[in-house]
Chains A and B, each alone.
Chain A
Amino acid sequence: NAGVTQTPKFQVLKTGQSMTLQCAQDMNHEYMSWYRQDPGMGLRLIHYSVGAGITDQGEVPNGYNVSRSTTEDFPLRLLSAAPSQTSVYFCASSYGGQKEETQYFGPGTRLLVL
């Protein structure tokens, strides 16, 4: 069981470039989420999905797109990167549908936008 995996580990982008952060889980979890962590801000929810084909916005969705075509994968797309998107991005997953459940986090992708 690899758990939640994220690629790449580190990426440098120029302003205006696009990229996709990959996230995959092999635990057959229904729920998947993307968070960003910034200094002094904790982790903030970007987008989440409660199952394949279903996505919704979190607290800070602007500038990001997601899709969920399979249970296993939940990619995060930056269409036109901005310096304000410099952050560490974490993907998380959980079984879903339970009041008391734990989210499992990936190791993170560190993104620097110049």
Chain B
Amino acid sequence: DQQVKQNSPSLSVQEGRISILNCDYTNSMFDYFLWYKKYPAEGPTFLISISSIKDKNEDGRFTVFLNKSAKHLSLHIVPSQPGDSAVYFCAASDWATGTASKLTFGTGTRLQVTL
């Protein structure tokens, strides 16, 4: 049973426009959420995170929004750049289990930013 879902396998956006990547989760115990970016033949790299006590976190061009009642989070990239083309993974963890490092990942969304 997929506890973290990314229903869009791919997304194509023009350079300069906004990219919106979505993620849904089913486990209400998740209290910390992360986005990772992955280029081919490389490991995932951390992008941005958000705690369940917040509904928004911003870092430069990247903003993550969390809607706890809907169990939904989204990553906004504004403006999108060609270098943003990668696979983006949503991940979640549950501190109550005492192992915040056990991440549950979504299946990823491949973002392509076109010129």
Contact = CB atoms under 8 A, between A and B. Distances in A.
Contacts, number: 70
A103 B59 CA distance: 18
Interface string A82-106: 0000000010101010111111111
A42 B32 contact: no
B32 A102 contact: no
Interface residues of B, number: 27
Contact of A43 (B32, B51, B89, B99): B89
A107 B43 contact: yes
B102 A58 contact: yes
A74 interface: no
Given A103-B46, A105-B43, A106-B43, A45 B51 contact: no
A107 B31 contact: no
Interface of B: 4, 6, 31-32, 34, 36, 41-46, 49, 51, 89, 91, 95, 99-108
Interface of A: 4, 31, 33, 35, 40-45, 48, 50, 56, 58-59, 90, 92, 94, 96, 98-108
Given A4-B43, A45-B103, A102-B46, 10 more contacts: A35-B103, A40-B107, A42-B6, A42-B106, A50-B99, A50-B101, A99-B51, A100-B100, A103-B101, A107-B43
